């Protein structure tokens, strides 16, 4: 299917992707159409290893090469100067292409079989919550794609961290499944530039994104008072349990940020489907994966 320009939903360790041949503009156009994604929002290409990445980019700046060597395969996407064989549609005309080596074994096996990279955005309608299980993909795009490769639930659960090298500095464009602390351990202090306007360098940076259909409100950590809970509202907390009659999910009762990230999008979908008018979500500690989770919650809350 991929050889003939068709799309396949694929598992990665972060979220499920909607994949097509990145070198085939018709396949890439099909990705944008299926997701109803604006064409100014560029795609990530997925390759099996660093060697394959080199064939699609002009060069890899030293600090980003260090990161690739430390964290590929893994939830790290690098913005690198593209070679001309990458179609304009993939990069939305930008000079850099986003590249990553995912760590999901099934996806890696697939990438090794192919002689082209896979362009793959998250396999959800544009702006909605990303899918972390095959059923999430089927629920929303099942009718539009011929095949979903079942790789089980995603182990990381939030999208990759996007990193570039701008004027001598390592810059984080999207907080994600590789914690900033892990990046700084390899390249020293980094800059974070994840806010943006309507025509952003990385539209995952769009303020309203990753959003459920119901209104979502975020509150500071520990800001939920049991006596104020309301049965019209579903609650997403980090560890806290609310009275039993309240519809609620705990991201991690024992306070584990890795577990919280794994569960985040599935729980948001469940609460979005619950018989309530809105969702209230408690923010997590602002370190490690907590930063990426809080970023998604804040964007989901932005209207
Ligand atoms: O974990 C992930 O990264 C998942 C899995 C499937 O790999 N993919 C993913 O793709 O999250 P998507 O399309 O939902 O988000 C890609 C982000 C967008 O915010 C896009 O703007 C940014 O990457 N991006 C892609 N190419 C870019 C470029 N050349 N310059 C700046 N940002 C870019
Ligand atoms: Mg996405």
Q: Tens place of pLDDT for every residue, the chain, 303 residues?
A: 899 999 999 999 999 999 999 999 999 999 999 999 999 999 999 999 999 999 999 999 999 999 999 999 999 999 999 999 999 999 999 999 999 999 999 999 999 999 999 999 999 999 999 999 999 999 999 889 999 999 999 999 999 999 999 999 999 999 999 999 999 999 999 999 986 544 455 555 666 788 899 999 999 998 888 888 889 999 999 999 999 999 999 999 999 999 999 999 999 999 999 999 999 999 999 999 999 999 999 999 987
| 231, 245 Cβ separation under 8 angstroms | yes
Residue nearest (by alpha carbon) to ligand 1 atom 33 = 202
Instruction: Calculate ∠ Cα 109-78-163, nearest 5°.
Output: 135
What pTM was estimated for this model as a whole? 0.95
Q: Which atom of ligand 1 is nearest to the CA of 43?
A: 25
Best of 162, 164, 173 to mutate for ligand 1, by most ligand atoms within 8 A of CB?
162
CA distances from 171 to 35, 65, 180, 223 (A): 28, 14, 10, 32
- pLDDT given at position 204: 58
Residue 257 in contact with ligand 1 by CB distance below 6 A:
no
**Ligand 1 atom, smallest distance to 156 CA:** 1
What's the rounded Cα separation, in Å, for the pair 256 and 261? 9
Residue to probe by mutation, ligand 1, list 202, 262, 296, most atoms within 8 Å of CB: 202
Residue owning the nearest CA to atom 6 of ligand 1: 17
| Alpha helix stretches (DSSP H) within the chain | 25-35, 50-54, 62-71, 88-91, 105-113, 134-141, 180-187, 257-272, 289-301
For residue 174, give the ligand 1 atom closest to its CA: 19
Q: Does 157 sit in the ligand 1 pocket, CB within 6 Å?
A: no
**Is-cis flag, bond preceding 54, omega within 30?**
no
Which of 157, 206, 173, 31 has its CA nearest to residue 98?
Answer: 173
Q: What is the pLDDT of residue 199?
A: 46
């Amino acid at each position: 299917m991929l050889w003939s320009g068709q799309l396949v939903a694929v598992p990665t360790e972060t979220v499920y992707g909607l994949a097509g041949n990145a070198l085939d503009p018709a396949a890439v156009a099909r990705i944008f159409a299926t997701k109803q994604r604006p064409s100014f929002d560029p795609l990530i290409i997925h390759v099996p290893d660093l060697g394959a990445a080199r064939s699609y980019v002009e060069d890899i700046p030293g600090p980003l090469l260090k990161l690739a060597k430390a964290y590929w395969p893994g939830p790290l996407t690098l913005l690198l100067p593209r070679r001309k064989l990458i179609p304009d549609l993939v990069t939305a005309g930008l000079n850099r292409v986003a590249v990553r080596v995912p760590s999901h074994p099934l996806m890696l096996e697939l990438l090794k079989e192919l002689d082209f990279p896979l362009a793959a955005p998250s396999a959800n309608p544009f702006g909605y919550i990303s899918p972390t299980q095959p059923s999430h993909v089927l629920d929303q795009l099942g009718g539009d794609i011929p095949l979903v490769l079942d790789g089980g639930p995603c182990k990381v659960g939030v999208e990759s961290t996007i990193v570039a090298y701008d004027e001598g500095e390592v810059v984080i464009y999207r907080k994600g499944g590789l914690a900033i602390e892990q990046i700084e351990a390899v390249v020293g202090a980094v800059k974070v530039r994840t806010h943006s306007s309507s025509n952003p360098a990385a539209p995952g940076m769009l303020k309203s994104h990753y959003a459920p259909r119901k209104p979502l409100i975020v509150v500071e950590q520990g800001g939920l008072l049991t006596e104020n809970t309301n049965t019209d509202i579903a609650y997403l907390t980090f560890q806290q349990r609310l009275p039993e009659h309240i519809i609620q999910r705990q991201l991690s009762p024992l306070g584990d940020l890795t577990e919280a990230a794994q569960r985040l999008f599935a729980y948001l979908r469940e609460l979005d489907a619950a018989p309530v008018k809105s969702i209230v979500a408690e923010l997590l500690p602002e370190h490690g994966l907590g930063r990426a989770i809080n970023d998604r919650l804040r964007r989901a809350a932005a209207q």
